[in-house]
Chain A
Amino acid sequence: MQAFLRDAQDFLPILLKGCVVTVELTLGALVLSTLLGFVWALLRLSPTRVLSLPAIGIITVIRGIPILVQLFYIYFVLPDLGIQLSAFQAGIIGLGIAYSAYQAENFRAGIEAVDPGQIEAAQSLGMRPALIMRRVVLPQAIRVFLPPYGNTMIMMLKDSSIASAITVAELTRGGQLIAASTFKNMTVFTLVALLYLAMSLPLTYLAHRLERAFGRK
Chain B
Amino acid sequence: MQMISVRNIAKSYGDHRVLDGVSLEVGKGEVVCIIGPSGSGKSTLLRCVNGLESYDEGEVAIDGEPVHRERKSIHAIRSEVGMVFQRFNLFPHRTALENVMEGPVYVKGEPRAAARERAASLLAKVGLASKLDAYPAKLSGGQQQRVAIARALAMQPKAILFDEPTSALDPELVGEVLKVMLTLAREGMTMLVVTHEMGFAAEVAHRVLFLDHGRIVEEGTPQQILADPKHERTRDFLQRVLKPV
Contacts and interface: CB of A to CB of B under 8 A. Distances in A.
Interface in A84-141: 115, 117-118, 120-128, 131, 135-136, 139-140
10 contacts: A115-B89, A118-B89, A120-B52, A120-B89, A125-B79, A126-B78, A126-B103, A126-B155, A131-B106, A139-B93
Contact of A125 (B78, B87, B93): B78
Contacts of A217: 137
Interface of B: 50, 52, 75-83, 85, 87, 89-93, 102-103, 106-107, 137, 148, 151-152, 155
A124 B91 contact: no
A120 B87 CA distance: 11
Nearest to B92: A140
A199 to B, nearest CB: 33
A123 B49 CA distance: 13
B106 A124 contact: no
A92 B114 CA distance: 48
Nearest to B84: A124
A141 B47 CA distance: 26
Given A128-B75, A135-B106, A123 B89 contact: no
A123 B78 contact: yes
Nearest to B154: A125
Given A115-B89, A117-B87, A139-B93, A126 B79 contact: yes
Contacts of A126: 75-80, 103, 107, 155
Nearest to A121: B89
Contacts of A121: 83, 85, 89-91, 148
Contacts of A117: 85, 87, 89
A123 B107 CA distance: 10
CB-CB nearest 8 A-B residue pairs: A126-B79, A121-B89, A124-B83, A125-B103, A117-B89, A126-B78, A126-B107, A139-B93
A121 B85 CA distance: 8
A115 B106 CA distance: 21
Contacts of A124: 50, 52, 78, 81-83, 85, 152
A122 B102 CA distance: 9
Given A124-B82, A126-B79, A140-B93, 5 more contacts: A117-B87, A125-B103, A126-B78, A126-B107, A217-B137
Contacts of A115: 89
Interface of A: 115, 117-118, 120-128, 131, 135-136, 139-140, 217
Nearest to B155: A125
A140 B135 CA distance: 14
Q: Which of B50, B75, B151 has the most CB of A within 10 A?
A: B75
A127 B102 CA distance: 10
Given A117-B87, A120-B52, A135-B102, A125 B107 contact: yes
A128 B77 CA distance: 12
A64 B50 CA distance: 44
Q: Which of A124, A128, A131, A136 has the most CB of B within 10 A?
A: A124
Contacts of B102: 125, 135
A127 B107 contact: yes
B44 to A, nearest CB: 13
Contacts of A139: 93
A61 to B, nearest CB: 33
Nearest to A132: B106
A217 to B, nearest CB: 8
A215 B222 CA distance: 50
A125 B52 contact: no
B91 A120 contact: no
A125 B160 CA distance: 11
B52 to A, nearest CB: 6
Contacts of A136: 91
A175 to B, nearest CB: 45
Q: Which of A125, A135, A136 has the most CB of B within 10 A?
A: A125
Nearest to A117: B89
